[in-house]
Amino acid sequence: MSDVVDLLRAELGVRVDTSPGALEAARADKSGHRSAGAPLAVVHAASVSDVQRTLRIASRTRTPVVTRGAGTGLAGAALAGPGEIALSTRAMTRILEISADDLLAVVEPGILNAELNEALAPHGLWWAPDPASRAISTVGGNIATGAGGLLCAKYGVVRDAVLGVDLVTADGELMRLGHRSVKGVTGLDLTSLVIGSEGRLGVIVGATLKLRRLTPGHVRTIAATFPDVGGAARASSQVTARGIQPALMELMDAASLAAVHRLLALPAPTPGAAQLTVQTDGPAADAEADAVARVVREAGGAVVISHDPAEGERLLTIRRSVHPAMEAMGTTLIEDVSVPRSALPAMFAEIARIEADFGLVIPTVAHAGDGNLHPNFVFDGDDVPAHVWEAADALFRVALALGGTLTGEHGIGVLKRRWLVDELGPGQWALQERVVRAFDPEGILNPGKVF
Amino acid sequence: MSDVVDLLRAELGVRVDTSPGALEAARADKSGHRSAGAPLAVVHAASVSDVQRTLRIASRTRTPVVTRGAGTGLAGAALAGPGEIALSTRAMTRILEISADDLLAVVEPGILNAELNEALAPHGLWWAPDPASRAISTVGGNIATGAGGLLCAKYGVVRDAVLGVDLVTADGELMRLGHRSVKGVTGLDLTSLVIGSEGRLGVIVGATLKLRRLTPGHVRTIAATFPDVGGAARASSQVTARGIQPALMELMDAASLAAVHRLLALPAPTPGAAQLTVQTDGPAADAEADAVARVVREAGGAVVISHDPAEGERLLTIRRSVHPAMEAMGTTLIEDVSVPRSALPAMFAEIARIEADFGLVIPTVAHAGDGNLHPNFVFDGDDVPAHVWEAADALFRVALALGGTLTGEHGIGVLKRRWLVDELGPGQWALQERVVRAFDPEGILNPGKVF
């Protein structure tokens, strides 16, 4: 196997990194889980050609390749292990084009989501997908996982914000998928297929992104406190059922709220209280904020409306600190179930039941505007204890029974692989495997992930 | 081959139709082109089970199957010919669920787009895709072709409006692709892959559609007349470049305008004049209508703003009558190129050049809000004359050079197959073929279409 490293070095020189620190880092992502051991090498690709040359060597030697961006995934899709090449596109950070007239940007995959949006802002533009990790996650990684975020109820997910993807397939060929025009139905929509494919179909080396103009008008932030999480869930379902369209609507239960307050050294929140943070924007921001406040009060919430952007940002910082707060408590297994919005209260009731059944506390936050929940299981040590797997299993089955899905935005990776066939059914599971083989006949791209 | 018909009759009885009228109708769509001869039979499926039983017989006997909805396609994707089974899902018209709280509907594929929207309206809901054919085209056909329409610049195309698809694959297996929740990234996004796949991956037997609430507020219609089509194209590019978001923006050149006026027995329009019809809606309808009017006047257009919904509908009827007007003139070959919006003026200049080079008149309309043009070639007789193919070829290559695509919303079918590899490149073309084989190893589903 060191032959492979020699081949890589001969072709890619200093781009090939076998330092213990780099190999160790490539074993992990932000899921808190690690691969069984160090990969062969990390290739820090700086160009499309670097990616192509790496894949040609991998293909020739049948060496598995694990593509990585910033390593912020939450499902273990980018963990590189023994016998594998970790291929990082993190160093490919250029913005190749910004077109305000056509509302598009062409970028390399390694640029961070927040860096891209900083560069777009002076043009009056933004790329809407905003995973909580946006300060530390790459655009390529956002595409590979089909990331969501806080604003997607109003502004869409990654799938809605990508026109085209440049993909290097397992044999090193560069494919330009998709188009620059708003519309396009030439052949099969392989761009959509690549979004969320978690490194199984090819290496994303570029993307044509669909941009939005920065929303004119002010942002209003509604912070609502409820005596319990059920009230908050009912209020959020009512907001969507009434046809109000907030820019974001985030729900935090008592346990997640307490954990963040501890991490940020804030005064402890009222025990048992849950919080709903809602933002409205655009020309109707004030009218929508008032409408949200009415619904929330009817549902028993105590409401504060803020016109101050700094206060709004502070409230969102609390929401964005949930993952670090969980990390500070131990190893986490984060669920990512998504249910039809009307089923949110039922899902929270089921989580309470599972907490009681398994004697666990399951701190839970939700992108309530689109029915996407992140229940967190926190435990000590590297391995997921059996009773946590069982509770997670119960939780996933409940979501499915409510018309939901296993993962709304994090992906399958290795952590949710065990449940994939339960949702897809054996027929579709086998079909998806065949589609993967159409891209990667030898199975060298991220084998063992997802399927 | 009559064995196949016997097998079908034994299994499906009266659903199997070999009447000369039915066979003849199945040879054609709205492209004006026909298959080489009659198919073996038309199966009028009334249930998922009918579709499955038909496909099992087709699979066993390796008989090609051409799936059809209402036969309104414009690319020849649903033409059924000798030795083939025409499988119609037009009789599957049930609405199985409408959920206002979750903004979704579950439907069978044969329901007409307009019928669905009539059923949704009392709930305050609508399904946004609105191809010009919406009164006569099916939801299943809209999905199979990845249809666009007039409102997509603001409200999205079919790809943005489908959560899940129930698909029967070539071997008769029913697959439930996608989900009911707003978000979902479980495995590969096969739902998106099926959208626009033109009958090559399976038979769509159901769909979970993403709905919108009916837009509150009034609609404003801006009718603008320009001395030439270049002015209209520049005005429309300016509208999008200034960040104004009309609900629809339709451009008609002099030749298409004249043809519609003839068809509808209206007074002849000013020779050479082009028209831009723009609608704004929602809470900012008036402000946006004023902004559009300013841009249009700056670009040399004469503007009338109408607050009267009936007048707006009348103007759109003129736009929606383009296809019938072309049909009345002869056989048509409709291009469907889509370019980045800023390239619209350049594309119209190139069309004028091609008209001069080939001595043709090419009546052209455009969904100007998203850069999608329909240049029409009209000729006598069934076969496309050589010089028309050459002009169409020149036009497609210009669109590609401007960063555009071969088809924005009609699909490839048989009429645009000759250019597919030019846009995809041979590598991606072969990859797409392999993906098709992953769904349909024997190649019995709509063979010869698209690829």
The dihedral of CA B296, B298, B300, B303: what is its sign? positive
**Which residue in A has a C-alpha nearest to residue B340's C-alpha?**
A181
Residues facing residue B223 across a β-bridge: B277, B304
Q: Which residues from chain B sit within 8 angstroms of residue A213, using beta carbons?
A: 243
**Both structure tokens of A71:** 């390593």
Per DSSP, B384 falls in state: P
Predicted ipTM? Answer: 0.95
What is the torsional sign of CA B397, B398, B399, B400?
positive
Question: C-alpha A70: how far from its chain's center?
Answer: 12
Joined together, the tokens standing for residue B100 give 């206002």
pLDDT of the residue at B26: 98
Q: Shortest Cα distance from A145 to chain B (angstroms)?
A: 8
User: How many Å from the N-terminal Cα to the C-terminal Cα in chain B?
Assistant: 25
State whether B181 and A340 contact (CB < 8 Å): yes
How many residues belong to chain A? 451
- Per-residue pLDDT averaged across A88-97, rounded? 98
- Say how many CB pairs under 8 Å bridge A and B: 254
Q: Measured between beta carbons, which residues in chain B are less than 8 angstroms from residue A434?
A: 438-439
CB contact under 8 A, A423 and B186: yes
Confirm if B361 and B369 have CB atoms less than 8 A apart.
no
pLDDT on residue A153 = 80
Q: Is A98 on the interface with B (CB under 8 A)?
A: no
What is A59-117 written as a DSSP string? HHHT--EEEESSS--SSSTT---TT-EEEE-TT---EEEEETTTTEEEE-TTSBHHHHH
Contacts of residue A177, defined as CB under 8 A and 6 or more positions apart, other chains included, come to A164, A165, A166, A167, A190, A191, A194, B428
Least confident of A190-204, A302-316, B121-135: A302-316
Residues of chain B contacting A177 with CB distance shorter than 8 Å = 428
B interface mutation test: which of A167, A186, A211 has the most B CBs within 10 A?
Answer: A186
The fold of A2-88 is 3.30.43
Taking the CA of residue A265 and the nearest CA in chain B, the distance in Å comes to 33
Does residue A32 register a pLDDT over 90?
no
Residues B220-401: name the CATH superfamily: FAD-linked oxidase, cap domain/gating helix (3.40.462.40)
Nearest Cβ partner for A185 among B196, B339, B403:
B196
How far is the alpha carbon of A64 from chain B, nearest alpha carbon, in Å? 20
pLDDT beneath 50, residues of chain B: 1
For the residues of A302-336, what is the DSSP string, one character each? EEEEE--HHHHHHHHHHHHTHHHHHHHHSEEEE-B
Burial of residue A53, with CB atoms counted within 10 A of its CB: 0-12 exposed, 13-18 middle, 19 or more buried: buried
Residues in a beta bridge with A206: A166
Shortest Cα–Cα distance, A342 to chain B (Å): 6
Q: Which residues pair with A98 in a beta bridge?
A: A105
What pLDDT shows up at residue B2? 65
- Encoded tokens for B75: 């690319």
Per CATH, is B95-213 categorized as 3.30.465.10?
yes
> Which token pair is B97?
């669920």
In chain B, positions 312-371, which contact chain A (CB-CB < 8 Å)? 338-342, 367, 370-371
The residue type at B256: S
Tokens, residue B262: 């003839």
* Cα nearest neighbour of A401 on chain B: B180
Distances from the Cα of A172 to the Cα of A5, A65, A440, B142, B327, angstroms: 17, 12, 11, 36, 47
Phi-psi region of A352 (alpha: psi -120 to 50; beta: other; left: phi over 0): alpha
Q: Confirm or reject contact between B438 and chain A (CB < 8 A).
A: yes
Please give the distance of CA A171 from its chain centroid, rounded to a whole number. 28
Contacts with A425 from chain B: Cβ below 8 Å: 175-176
Q: Using the beta-carbon criterion (under 8 Å), do A182 and B410 form an inter-chain contact? A: no
- Which of 392-431 (A) contact B at CB < 8 A? 403-412, 420, 423-425, 427-429, 431
B407/B339 Cα distance (integer angstroms): 10
Can you give the pLDDT at residue B88? 98
The arithmetic mean of pLDDT across residues A291-308, rounded, is 94
d(CA B123, CA B213): 9
Residue B122 contacts by C-beta under 8 Å, 6 or more apart in sequence? none
DSSP A8-29: HHHHHGGGEE--HHHHHHTTB-
Confidence of residue A444 (pLDDT cuts 50, 70, 90): very high
The residue of chain B nearest to residue A172, with distances taken between CA atoms, is: B427
Which residues in A lie closer than 8 A to residue B148 (C-beta atoms)?
A: 183, 185
Tell me what pLDDT residue A2 has.
65
Q: What distance in Å separates the CA atoms of residue A246 and residue A233, rounded to the nearest whole number?
A: 15
Cβ-in-10-Å burial (0-12, 13-18, 19+) of A306 comes to middle
Touching B: A residues 287-316, CB under 8 Å? none
Mean pLDDT on A313-320: 88
Q: Tens digits of per-residue pLDDT, A145-194?
A: 999 888 888 898 899 999 999 999 999 999 999 999 988 999 999 999 99
Q: In the prediction, which pLDDT does B119 show? A: 98
Which tokens is A439 given? 């891209």
Q: Strands B41-44 and A331-334, how do they pair? A: unpaired
Domain boundaries, chain A: 2-88, 95-213, 220-401
**Mutate which: A130, A174, A175, A182, vs B, most B CBs within 10 A:** A182
**Contact residues on chain A for B243, CB-CB shorter than 8 A:** 124, 213
pLDDT (0 to 100) of residue A243? 86
- Contact list in A for residue B451 (CB cut-off 8 A) is 187
Whether the predicted pLDDT of A250 surpasses 60: yes
CB contact under 8 Å between A181 and B371, yes or no, is yes
CB-based contact B185 A409, cutoff 8 Å? yes
Q: How far, in Å, are A295, A337, A387 from residue A356 at the CA level?
A: 30, 19, 13
Tokens 């806080």 — which residue?
A150
What letter represents residue A155's amino acid? Y
A52 CB within 8 Å of a chain B CB: no
Please, which residues bridge with residue B104 across strands?
Answer: B99, B210
* Cβ–Cβ below 8 Å for A195 and B189: yes
Instruction: Give start and end residues of each alpha helix (H) in B42-82.
Output: 48-61
